[in-house]
Structure 1
Amino acid sequence: MTDAPDYKSTVFLPVTDFPMKAGLAQKEPAIAAKWEAMGLYDRLRERRKGRERFILHDGPPYANGDIHMGHAMNKVLKDIIVRSQSLLGKDAPYVPGWDCHGLPIEWKIEEEYRKKKLNKDEVPAAEFRAQCRAYADNWVGVQKEQFKRLGVMGDWADPYLTMKFDSEATIVGELLKFAESGQLYRGAKPVMWSPVEKTALAEAEVEYEDVVSTQIDVAFEIVEAPNAPELVGAHAVIWTTTPWTIPVNQAIAFGEGIEYGLVEIGHQDYVRRRYLVAAGLWEDFYHRLVPNLTSQVADHGIAAFEILKTFKGTDLAGAVARHPMHALGGFFARPRPFLPADHVTTDAGTGLVHMSPDHGEEDFIACKKLGIDPVFAVNDAGFYRDDWEWLPGQGSVINTKFNGADGPICTDLRAAGALLSASEFRHSYPHSWRSKARIIYRCTPQWFIPMDKPSGQVMDYPLPPLEPVTGALATALPTNGPTLRGVALDAIQNTRWVPERSTNRIRSMVEGRPDWVISRQRAWGVPIALYVHRKSGQYLVDPAVNTRIVEAFKAGGADAWFGADHQALLGPDHDLADYEVITDILDVWFDSGSTHSFVVEARYGEGARADLYIEGSDQHRGWFQSSLLESCGTRGQAPYKAVLTHGFALDGTGRKMSKSLGNVVDPLKIMGESGADILRVWVASTDYFDDVRIGKEVLAGSSDAYRKLRNTFRYMLGALSDYDEETEAVSYAEMPELERYMLHRLATLDAELRSVVDKAADSENWLEFSRYTRALFDFANSDLSAFFFDIRKDCLYCDAPSDPKRRAYRTLLDTLFHALVRYAAPIIPFTAEEVWQSRFPSDEESVHFLEWPEIDHHWINAHLDEKWTELRSQREQVNEAIEPLRREKIVRSSLEADVTMGRVLAVGDVDFAEVAIVARVTMGEGDGISVRPSEWHKCGRCWRLLPEVTEDGALCGRCDAVVAP
């Protein structure tokens, strides 16, 4: 018996050396090195020169430590957006930057000092600042390489750093703009203060955690009550969770609309005391009080409290109490007046609030109306002054033992008969996000930018006449109100916020924020370069002096201020002896809030604004807001046209990543094992407007999605290995219906992807790349690999090269290839480059030079869509009907099946057997589908079962014609 002929060599199988196994961890660094060697970023700038520009301004991370998953998510998202805008043909530069000043870096240097048992204050300031600069410079270099490893394309040769001399000069120049326009004042008011770091903090530098504090009820004896004489001799009860503020108490606040009651508690045979407490809070107070009554009273039983009389809040006006420690004399012997305050509520406590203007903004405001000033009893380290009458030199006030029931404050109050209760209380409390230590509100002299005072009228002292505002700033000033808050709220309204719901968050924060505290008591940063007149307290406003200051910073950076010849900077018109030189450091949020001026405007021209800012949701109180306020104060508008907010990266179970929990997912490890493109697929696939999860299972899903797309590219590369457009390409009119349907699907896909990337499309989906990625991957997997390629593989493998259908298929494959590799390039830039170079190898060209594919939207055909949607549905039904026979090995493949259907769509010239990949389809009765093994024989080359094949292994007419000599 003669063996059947082997026709394998006559089949046109795909040919490619593009590997199925990606090996991204090994390949990506080599691809990145090639990009750097060829100057990809700079050459792309040349090619897009003169085009419409899209500026995504990079929010600066701190130059401090290796990157974490939050960094990776943020940078990848930015890179995807920048690359997609470049793909649209725009000039889309990306200038990465770093925040180099401030507490995070300074704290690290101090940690190194503490390890060596050195005191930072004993080190020369210039030396300390130099160490901070070196530390920041080192981590800029480390993070730069890590970001580049993520595939982030940008101007890595010239990033922006807030510590560059030009940057520091611009930052101080922006500060001086506020000074010249009168939007700056120095005042003493309570600010968030870290006793550990000895500096004021911004809201964005504070995080809240649950703590257990000691809550106490303290009795203040009432000595005067002109509107309610019955209260004299009774005790007003205040409740607080910060016992350390009692030594700085100066008044008691009440609510004018609150009802108060005079209650008596005790036993008839023992001492009874009268207390003033808000109605509705009597029971809570009583239950706190009972455990603290003397054991003698407790042994004899406690009578329920008795309400003697109720009073209106207004009845307390004019009342005076005395401090529990009045016997100490001095400050404590002063009367403690009752004063009305809007912030007093009956949510908790006693309805009476002890007031310490040193340690509460509301206290400060209410006391100031009565002329009660702060006393600055607590120093920068959280200890009471050495000359303070009570607990001099003691603290720290954030120490829980110091504030505890057995601490010195409670002990002294107890001895004075004023401590009514002391117990544990769990609540949320602010901490420094850097040291993790509790913070306090502390009144200190600070520099502020006011939110609610018109420009030129914001200072507590007179200003010299200012020149009228002219030029660009004058035309930019809004008409809806002169205050910074008003301008900022107007700018929020004129900015596109993505997602839209984030508008409410930024608006509410700006509506409720206090004046901006811009001064810090640190060493590493840009100084508040001002001169304050010693007699008037007025800071100097002289444009000529300001110009010299800025020029000095350009030449020597911020260090120029600390070692400056200040008389030379002041010039001949001012005597240095008359002025105090300010050495406070600017809030780093002012630094980063000014980046639009020394990045966007400096590189792209005066008046240029960023098209987009992108950061995490915490930046509504951070960079988004500081940039908004800085620009609105100096330019009258936001520095951005749109803002995208993303969530945070959580572990696979939805928990916040923490080293202590051991659940940190390291992006560097992922790139080292799986490659950056896998991480990028994860970022692009997530609904990043909310918090997102990442873990082994999530990454496995990203890897699987990537693998399928890679195999789609591999198939197309193989199928197009010898494609010649000049000799093979056919027109749309020459294409079979299936190819025209796939062009319809491609055009539909193109429109959906454009709705995500093109702002001009005015789509609700703008920047929703999870939609973009899902649509792209689904098209490649469902429309192409599982459907179109599956149907046409017979045509590709077995039709003659000159066959019109095969030529149409390969023409369409070429169109698909050029479209899909472009669509994929922003998401998986390394793989897209590998795919492109596999087909079009070149040391001078790159897939990232390409522009959006040219798609003819006349390809969209509703009739074809409806018809082929139904055909695909019927194809799936046929496959489901065949599957049981395949499992039972009655048929080995669908090609061996004869299908009878009760209803077959009128398909015209479409061969539904070819679509379903079966031997034949016949019409039956009923609605069901029946399947049986075909009786026809199998072609030895194409393996189709056809009536013309006389025996298994023989050739069908098509194959016979192809292999014939």
Structure 2
Amino acid sequence: MNDSADKNDYSSTLYLPQTDFPMRGGLPQKEPELVARWQQMGLYKKLRASAAGREKFVLHDGPPYANGNIHIGHALNKVLKDVITRSFQMRGYDANYVPGWDCHGLPIEWKIEEAYRAKGKNKDEVPVNEFRKECREFAQNWINIQSGEFKRLGIEGDFEKPYTTMNFHAEARIAGELMKIAASDQLYRGSKPIMWSVVERTALAEAEVEYQEYESDTIWVKFPVASGSESLGDVSIVIWTTTPWTIPGNRAVSYSKRIEYGLYEVTAAENDFGPQPGEKLIFAKRLAEDCATKAKLTLNLVRDVTGDELAGINCAHPLKGFGGGYEFFVPVLDGDHVTDDAGTGFVHTAPGHGRDDFEIWTHHSRDLEARHISSKIPFTVDDAGFLTEDAPGFGPDAEGGAARVIDDNGKKGDANKRVIEQLIAHSALFARGRLKHEYPHSWRSKKPVIFRNTPQWFVYMDKELGDGTTLRSRALSAIDATRFVPAAGQNRLRAMIEQRPDWVLSRQRAWGVPICIFADAQGNVLKDDKVNARILEAFEKEGADAWFADGAKERFLGNEHDGDKWQMVSDILDVWFDSGSTHTFTLEDRPDLKWPADVYLEGSDQHRGWFHSSLLEACATRGRAPYNAVVTHGFTMDEHGRKQSKSLGNVVVPQDVMNQSGADILRLWVMNTDYWEDQRLGKTILQTNIDNYRKIRNTVRWMLGTLAHDKGEEIAYTDLPELEKLMLHRLAELDQLVRDGYDAFDFKKIARALTDFANVELSAFYFDIRKDTLYCDAPSSLKRRSALYVIRKLFDCLVLWFAPMMPFTTEEAWLSRDPSAVSVHLEQFPEIPAKWKNDALADKWKKVRTVRRAVTGALEIERKDKRIGSSLEAAPVVYISDADLFAALEDQDLAEICITSAITVELGEGPADAFRADDVAQVSVLPTLAQGTKCARSWRITTDVGSDPDYPDVSARDAAALRELAGL
């Protein structure tokens, strides 16, 4: 302390805050410097070394796709993961984070194909492994870019040794998982309708489609009753469909015994091609009037039709007589999926073009054979969207060539038009129209898909696995054993597993892990451990490219098997199988991790994606989920709740936010948002977080400045003033809240509690009260030394608790406090002594603060009306009518607490003109001016200024402090 101040200039005698920690964060410049520091010092390795031997906590990274710069969804996702792993690391765990990337699949393949087309190259003329090499290089380039972007966000993890699905070991393990499933007879080749992208020429999983508005042609079609119910006479059943092109694939009409049907006669008609008066038709009674309106005719109910009458009916195909291929019976089948919510109450059933259609057709297959109806499912559409010879009159031999459903650009072909024309020509069309509805599109090409019957490789969901379970039952049991945050995710995933069909694994592409098995013409899989071992050994050394190398078939089959009988499967594995297998080559194979993971965290769309495929893969091979908990987040909308899109100009780019404001601002937004739901982000919301950040930073800065005078002295708890004990009590309360919040993944609860504590309880209350003591008291003052001790504890707790959330700012603050420190991120959360918790004291101080609130309310009016300049000019009289409130003020220096120069407290009601706060009716305040002289050092107005002749312009307290300082 400098005692050489000029006369009457006491600023150098005050313990004013001193710090180099800047008021403005300058995060865009400071954060990259800290990233470089962490890399240079090897922070990741230091974290692992410091945590050696601790219990492991593992968050397994759901792999982002390696094909572009990160977007705001990536930022949200990675920050949440980083906060989780950091918070567990700082609470006594070995919380290692290993980032990963999904590298195979169509999006990357599509990019390489686009580059080929731009150069006039044909993919099919390029050796497959040369093409795969370009895909691999493309993915690696984006892994490198995204790694840098994630590090800039402050993500800490093993970026030197991440996992990737295209790593040779990973490809071998993925192949090995497929072999396990094949060996347990869960894999089979079948023919089912699956979602097919004509544009991309591949099968798609449910997780690879999104639903967009689409306008479909709709038709109502008559199916004449041909046999089975003579009591109905000459009548037709009417169906409704939004896919006219599937009519050639129709093989049945479905109804429901739960629906009331009626036989109707047309009594009047105003149409060009539809039914005419006298025709008889069957509809669901609820829908008959609506159907009549669509066809511009009048119907009269003749009588009810029972389900028993419909059972066993055979209809004629509406295209009978066309193309020579529709002469078969169309049976009427009872189906649970039929409703009378829309349409006609009857469902057009094309088993090659719909999941329900396929299920009901196969369910009735034995009955169909007994009725001499072939149960064979036609293949009416090829991979390019053209109708085939199984659609007579519309296939390659038809006049004008094959009709097409969708072309290479995702546009409607001529199939609907040509089918409708023939229905009209055969007097089978009842009505037609158009409908805008949600329709599946490929999330990659953004083009509509079709349901197409085609041979694929599947995993059984309901086959008994030898232990009384099925894959479905195992998965459902695993869901019940898993913790979901938020809890609603459990029901969502359960519903998907309950309803999902068999898992289709095959894709008709080139870039990925092949379905590396051999099969015969009947689809039987070769089971030979030696063959599998040769395949896996090659994959470990050369990657999955080995499957496509010259001589691969002979190499793997060896001399033990007939190469004419066993054929290499050429399909590629669904990329969801790749990512669903990541738990094997990360959690199981890395000694720094463990299986199962403690938690998986991804967006809520991953209930049908990564959570889903990981669950099925692990249950198929290990009988349980690879995770103990599943945490989901929503999607980021703009400030008005709209989806972010370039066309709307409302996209928030994380790189821009980091460059303009800093990564800690973006991270603070994540922490303050209700991430379990869809969240919002835009300029106004960012500014709110910038303002919050500044307040937090200023609180930290003030503590750093004040602690510049701290000598690290420990003060016995029993010697602390009540106000200091109150602050320690609040730390004990917050410690529990912080730990519980991190356990519950409820970060907004922590962030808001800590922010409010810093702004309201510290800056606006405790620090405000203690500034006079800290700045002006003598070095020996117990109150001052106690305050420094508590502020040291406050600083440690706040900075350490905030460290997982704002790693840059807390690192800067920690090093500013102790430049010799290594890193705040190598520290542990502080251990809070049990004795700090003091509920009785907290209850007492609630009453003290109630009185304070009334006093500051009264003084605020005095300031506003300019009767005083600062609260130190006041010496209010406080009247308290409540005995408990009055008792709480015993032994309290209320003038210090209210930051006035003096104060008088009396028990009883105050005068009628006294100030009364609306919410503190028991307290009334009569503002009066302080009497005495203003101290030149502390600015308090007291009557003892000049009582010490050596210091005539200061109070007795300040004179004693100056004398003590002079003797130092």
The TM-score with structure 2 as length reference comes to 0.92
Letter in 2 for 1:616: G
| 2:179 corresponds to | 176
- CA change 1:555–1:59 in 2 (3 A) is same
| 1:931 corresponds to | 927
Partners of 2:624 and 2:347 in 1: CA distance: 41
| 1:298 corresponds to | none
Identical columns (%): 51
Letter in 2 for 1:915: I
Match of 1:846 among 823, 833, 853: 823
> Which residues of 2 match residues 764-913 of structure 1 at below 5 A?
766-842=744-820, 845-903=822-880, 904-913=886-895
- CA change 1:216–1:388 in 2 (3 A) is closer
> Which residues of 2 match residues 40-51 of structure 1 at below 5 A?
40-51=43-54
Conserved in 1, the CA contact under 8 Å of 2:378 and 2:390?
no
The CA deviation at 1:266 is: 4.2
Partners of 2:693 and 2:277 in 1: CA distance: 80
The CA deviation at 1:821 is: 1.4
Q: Is 1:136 matched up with 2:139?
A: yes
Letter in 2 for 1:248: G
The CA deviation at 1:172 is: 0.4
Conserved in 2, the CA contact under 8 Å of 1:104 and 1:434?
yes
Name the SS for the 2:245 alignment partner. Answer: helix
Match of 2:444 among 417, 434, 444: 434
Partners of 2:895 and 2:24 in 1: CA distance: 34
| 2:729 corresponds to | 744
Partners of 1:745 and 1:339 in 2: CA distance: 70
Letter in 2 for 1:284: D
Q: Is 1:734 matched up with 2:692?
A: no
Q: Is 1:285 matched up with 2:288?
A: no
Letter in 2 for 1:922: T
| 2:508 corresponds to | 521
| 1:320 corresponds to | 314
Partners of 1:648 and 1:407 in 2: CA distance: 40
Name the SS for the 1:112 alignment partner. Answer: helix
- CA change 1:405–1:112 in 2 (3 A) is closer
The CA deviation at 1:607 is: 6.9
Cα deviation digits, residues 80-133 of structure 1 (max 9, x gap): 111101110211100000000112212222233344454433433222212211
Letter in 2 for 1:879: T
Cα deviation digits, residues 823-876 of structure 1 (max 9, x gap): 11101100111001112113x711111011121121111111011111112112
> Which residues of 2 match residues 53-452 of structure 1 at below 5 A?
53-224=56-227, 226-231=228-233, 233-267=234-268, 272-290=278-296, 304-368=298-362, 369=365, 370=368, 371-385=374-388, 388-393=391-396, 394-398=402-406, 407-452=417-462
Name the SS for the 1:327 alignment partner. Answer: coil
Q: Name the stretch that deviates more: 714-723 or 113-122.
A: 113-122
The CA deviation at 1:147 is: 0.5
Partners of 2:262 and 2:113 in 1: CA distance: 53
| 1:943 corresponds to | 939
Partners of 2:784 and 2:87 in 1: CA distance: 33
The CA deviation at 1:888 is: 2.2
Letter in 1 for 2:850: S
Name the SS for the 1:336 alignment partner. Answer: strand
Q: Is 1:676 matched up with 2:663?
A: yes
- CA change 1:116–1:222 in 2 (3 A) is farther
Conserved in 1, the CA contact under 8 Å of 2:268 and 2:299?
no
Partners of 1:130 and 1:268 in 2: CA distance: 65
Q: Is 1:575 matched up with 2:562?
A: yes
Pairwise CA RMSD: 2.1
- CA change 1:401–1:52 in 2 (3 A) is closer
Letter in 2 for 1:450: Y
Conserved in 1, the CA contact under 8 Å of 2:15 and 2:709?
no
The CA deviation at 1:282 is: 1.1
Name the SS for the 1:915 alignment partner. Answer: helix
Partners of 2:566 and 2:154 in 1: CA distance: 52
Cα deviation digits, residues 667-697 of structure 1 (max 9, x gap): 1100000000000000011111111111111
| 2:960 corresponds to | 961
- CA change 1:389–1:906 in 2 (3 A) is closer
The CA deviation at 1:538 is: 1.2
The CA deviation at 1:171 is: 0.3
Q: Name the stretch that deviates more: 681-690 or 353-362.
A: 353-362
Partners of 1:647 and 1:257 in 2: CA distance: 39
| 1:465 corresponds to | none
Which residues of structure 1 form unaligned runs of 5+?
Answer: 291-301, 457-478, 759-765
Match of 1:757 among 742, 762, 768: 742
Conserved in 1, the CA contact under 8 Å of 2:639 and 2:685?
yes
Cα deviation digits, residues 399-452 of structure 1 (max 9, x gap): 798578982222222222222211121222111111111111111111111111
| 2:915 corresponds to | none
The TM-score with structure 1 as length reference comes to 0.92
Conserved in 2, the CA contact under 8 Å of 1:825 and 1:833?
yes
Partners of 2:179 and 2:933 in 1: CA distance: 90
Partners of 1:254 and 1:815 in 2: CA distance: 74
Cα deviation digits, residues 915-948 of structure 1 (max 9, x gap): 0101212134414211122122111101111121
Q: Name the stretch that deviates more: 89-98 or 109-118.
A: 109-118
Conserved in 2, the CA contact under 8 Å of 1:737 and 1:910?
no
Conserved in 1, the CA contact under 8 Å of 2:96 and 2:592?
no
Q: Name the stretch that deviates more: 442-451 or 377-386.
A: 377-386
Name the SS for the 1:902 alignment partner. Answer: strand
Partners of 2:116 and 2:709 in 1: CA distance: 67
Name the SS for the 1:144 alignment partner. Answer: helix
How many matched pairs?
Answer: 915
Match of 1:17 among 17, 20, 34: 20
| 2:615 corresponds to | 628
Which residues of structure 2 form unaligned runs of 5+?
Answer: 1-5, 271-275, 369-373, 397-401, 881-885, 910-922
Partners of 2:118 and 2:679 in 1: CA distance: 38
Letter in 2 for 1:338: V
| 1:919 corresponds to | 901
- CA change 1:239–1:748 in 2 (3 A) is same
| 1:538 corresponds to | 524
Partners of 1:327 and 1:751 in 2: CA distance: 79
Partners of 1:674 and 1:277 in 2: CA distance: 64
Name the SS for the 1:796 alignment partner. Answer: helix
Partners of 1:13 and 1:538 in 2: CA distance: 84
Partners of 2:242 and 2:520 in 1: CA distance: 41
Partners of 1:122 and 1:343 in 2: CA distance: 47
Conserved in 2, the CA contact under 8 Å of 1:214 and 1:404?
no
- CA change 1:166–1:73 in 2 (3 A) is same
Letter in 2 for 1:948: D
Conserved in 2, the CA contact under 8 Å of 1:244 and 1:403?
no
Q: Is 1:552 matched up with 2:530?
A: no
Partners of 1:915 and 1:657 in 2: CA distance: 50
Name the SS for the 1:609 alignment partner. Answer: coil
Letter in 1 for 2:439: Y
Conserved in 2, the CA contact under 8 Å of 1:402 and 1:408?
no
Conserved in 2, the CA contact under 8 Å of 1:937 and 1:945?
yes
